[in-house]
Amino acid sequence: MTLRTGRLETPIGALAWAERDGCLRAACFEEQWPRMQRRLGERAEDGEPARRGAARGAVDERLRAYFAGDLDALAELPVDPHGTPFQQKVWAALREIPPGRTTAYHELARRVRSREAARAVGAACGANPIWIVIPCHRVVAAGGGLGGYGGGLRRKRWLLEHEAALPT
């Protein structure tokens, strides 16, 4: 099946995304999309080109609902990120962090049974191909600071405020 893409205007910028067979494969802010497209191209199974704007349905509806205030709208959205077994473990643990909560990198490392791997967890968060849905924005620094975010700290702050999870 063809990889289909979509674009959604959000309060914090345009979000671009790709899905195949009903599973979200990638989502990021538009300025990072060219890099994400290259990454998707590297793992294409069938060599078919993406059809820009062709996807509509559950992905678009659930993203709209999330930004409209339904913070649980993304919880059941099927995802298909490709990564190493360690990345997959971290990304699965990220999806278990509910809206309104945050965790620190070292806590996430403990959850994936890799106590000494806070930096590796940070690297897995940085490699996350499905922003917001795999909520790496919910991971903060141990001291309570925001830490990093590929979409920028302004967006991370907005997402955490939207979810009533901004650390004090």
Q: CA-to-CA distance for 166 and 144, rounded, in angstroms? A: 9
Alpha-carbon distance 97 to 117, whole Å? 19
Separation CA 92–CA 38 (nearest Å): 24
23 is catalytic: no
The one catalytic residue among 23, 28, 125, 136: 136
Cα separation, 112 vs 123, in Å, equals 14
Which regions of the chain does DSSP assign to beta strands (E)? 4-10, 13-20, 23-29, 103-104, 139-140
By three-state DSSP, how is residue 93 classified? Answer: helix
**What are the residue numbers of the active site?**
136
